[in-house]
């Protein structure tokens, strides 16, 4: 049985509606760095493994926990954010600038669309989460901490709760509605247990460690 803590990164410059350069490179704000330090307080035991997204903001969020428990095994897995808009859309723009483009994407509701040829499709998001679920069911570690992202982790939560596995228009619409109704604050933790069986027990988003 593997206990997994899925941790959303601290507040990033994109979350704060500041100009960005590339979705992978958005760094934490001062508030985000403080949230990263507060995450350490949530642990009462050392994880066997820390998993990080390749995106800068998730890696920065993991640093205080990695430092606190060093030496510790750290691995990079494909738990990066669902970047459905082409990365060029982020160059010099704020979230509010991208809002109309993002809303148009969701209104088209095409699970296989790769926006401008370079965004990730909803189908690819589901496939990444499905592979993660399979990997965790087979993993030998007792306790894993995964530093990831809001849209990705809400897709994981939605898939675990709904048992939805096929990317189609109905699934994409349901996921969009789920995201709008399910808030996952920066620095919050989703706790789940994987033992090869279904359904996977999950708890709500824990924020007790945050000031």
Domains assigned to the chain: 2-206 (3.40.50.1240)
Distance CA 19, CA 95 (A): 8
Distance CA 195, CA 140 (A): 10
Distance CA 84, CA 76 (A): 21
Model confidence, pTM: 0.97
pLDDT tens digits for range 151-185: 999 999 999 999 889 999 999 999 999 999 999 99
Distance CA 132, CA 180 (A): 23
pLDDT tens digits for range 86-103: 999 999 999 999 999 999
Contacts of 79 (CB under 8 A, 6+ apart): 51, 52, 53, 58, 128, 132, 146, 147, 148, 149, 152
Distance CA 54, CA 59 (A): 7
């Amino acid at each position: 049985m593997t206990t997994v803590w899925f941790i959303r990164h601290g507040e990033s410059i994109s979350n704060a509606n500041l100009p960005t350069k590339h979705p992978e490179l958005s760094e934490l704000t001062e508030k985000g760095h403080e949230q990263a330090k507060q995450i350490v307080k949530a642990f009462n035991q050392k994880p066997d493994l820390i998993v990080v997204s390749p995106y800068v903001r998730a890696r920065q969020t993991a640093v205080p926990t990695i430092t606190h428990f060093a030496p510790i095994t750290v691995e990079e897995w494909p738990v990066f954010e669902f970047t459905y808009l082409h990365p060029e859309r982020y160059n010099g723009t704020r979230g509010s600038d991208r809002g109309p483009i993002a809303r148009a994407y969701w209104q088209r509701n095409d699970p296989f669309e790769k926006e401008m040829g370079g965004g990730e499709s909803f189908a690819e998001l589901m496939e990444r989460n499905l592979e993660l679920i399979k990997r965790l069911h087979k993993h030998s570690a007792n306790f894993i901490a995964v530093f990831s992202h809001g849209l990705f982790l809400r897709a994981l939560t939605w898939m675990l709760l709904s048992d939805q596995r096929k990317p189609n228009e109905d699934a994409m619409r349901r996921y969009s509605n789920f995201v709008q109704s399910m808030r996952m604050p920066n620095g919050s933790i989703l706790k789940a247990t994987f033992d090869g069986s279904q359904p996977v027990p999950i708890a709500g988003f824990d924020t007790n460690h945050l000031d």
